[in-house]
Amino acid sequence: MLDFERLQKYLDIPETARMMLSAPEKQVIMSVNIKVGAGKLLIYDSYLVYHNLVLGPAKGGIRFAPNVTLAETRTLAELMTYKCALMGIPFGGGKSSIALNPRSISEFEKRMLIREFVHMIRDELVSGAYIPAPDLGSTPSDMAIIYGETHHPESVTGKPPRLGGLPGRREATGRGVFTASRLACREILNLDVSKASVAIQGCGNVGSHSAAFLHESGARVVALSDVSGGLYSKAGLPVPAILDFVRQGKLLEEFPAEGLERITNQAILALPVDLLIPAAVEDVLTAETAPGVQAKLVVEAANGPTTPEGDQILARKKIPVISDIMANSGGVVASYVEWRNAKSGNQTSAQETYDFIDAKMEGAFKDVARRVREQKASWRDGAYLLALSELISAMRDRSWI
């Protein structure tokens, strides 16, 4: 996934380090089978991947998606390796997934499925080798089931706060996106985020909380979308009303849009705004869509929203991209705080969680900005250079290279 050849001109990458980062340390393929009634057997493919553990145990969410594959799980685990290294978090990159549409089964069946999955990887969880969290399709309640099976509060993060979870954890990724946007506006556009116009593709956990923090800061959120389509207003959307509507489980196509325009997800990518935030799924800024981008800056809230071809087009258009390993790292930073608290017995308020995310993000952003200026690298390459430097140094500290 990582283009070592391109980064080699900025950083001496030992061949041993390149080899260890080019392939995952561990891949497990499982079949999760549960009998839920007379003659009814549910069977789902499942995957667990450790990419690189030089910095610590494998950290990465559990993804429930019907089309998830081992290759996708491997890519997401690799992203976690660089994300943790960039943020200075003592975790390695991991990920797990179950090829399941969670809405296709009952809540009871899902609970049985999660318990069976825990039984299959129990040694990984109890030993602390793998620490899961919510991801696409999974929820804090699902993490509570895992905790109930292991009885170790540090074995899983993203739990409900009453069960040892972290206040502010649900909003954490969106908080990180907001902080990255604020810092990038100031550093790159010489613009206060409160004066920025923003288009956000995606209204799930990440997109909705990103929109909330940006709106509260005074930014003008002009477009917001979900799987059913989007809403647009040049003057700015009524973000609190829209988010209240979405939290009721309703789609934006049902929102009473008097005075607003309906817009497609693809059209959102081409709006003339200061900030474009793809916060939904991967591979949306492609060779087909990137030529139409008119934003001054792209902030990747989703994992892998830009393809290599799309990235090249944005570079030719001189549109800076704040990469996903920087922009959406708030979640893993908060997970570290929850994991640390579970071990120590400490408690943290939501504001303290936000402050910790802000501090980690500001420190990493400052170091990346210095590399961008000194080495004339892109913002994406600057983030990977900092992460790679941390990983290589850790490998040397552990006598791996």
In this structure, whether the domain defined by 12-163 belongs to CATH 3.20.20.80 is answered with no
Q: What is the pLDDT of residue 281?
A: 82
pLDDT at position 366? 96
Annotated binding site: 59, 83, 173, 205, 335
Residues in the chain: 401
Q: Note the pLDDT tens digit of each residue in 360-398.
A: 999 999 999 999 999 999 999 999 999 999 999 999 999
Tokens describing residue 186? 């100031």
Nearest Cα to 199, choosing from 266, 250, 135?
266
Sheet hosting strand 297-299, strand order edge to edge: 261-263, 229-232, 220-226, 197-201, 275-278, 297-299, 321-322
| Alpha helix stretches (DSSP H) within 151-287 | 172-184, 205-217, 239-247, 265-268
In this structure, are residues 71 and 97 in contact, taking their beta carbons and an 8 Å threshold?
no
Q: Give the pLDDT confidence of 222-251 residue by residue, as tens digits.
A: 999 999 999 999 999 999 999 999 999 899
Q: Is 35 a catalytic site residue?
A: no
Q: Comparing C-alpha atoms, which of 94, 129, 77, 18 is closest to residue 391?
A: 18
Where do you find CATH 3.40.50.10860 in the chain? 12-163
Query: Which member of 26, 35, 40, 95 is catalytic?
Result: 95
Q: How far is CA 242 from the centre of its chain?
A: 23
Specify binding-site residues for NAD(+): 173, 205
Q: In the chain, which residues fall in CATH 3.40.50.720?
A: 172-322
CATH number of 172-322: 3.40.50.720
Binding-site entries for substrate: 59, 83, 335
What would the two tokens of residue 359 be? 């501090």
Parallel, antiparallel or unpaired: strands 40-52 and 58-59: unpaired
Per-residue confidence (pLDDT) for residue 3, from 0 to 100 = 83
pLDDT digits (tens, 9 = 90+) for 42-78: 999 999 999 999 999 999 999 999 999 999 999 999 9
DSSP 306: B
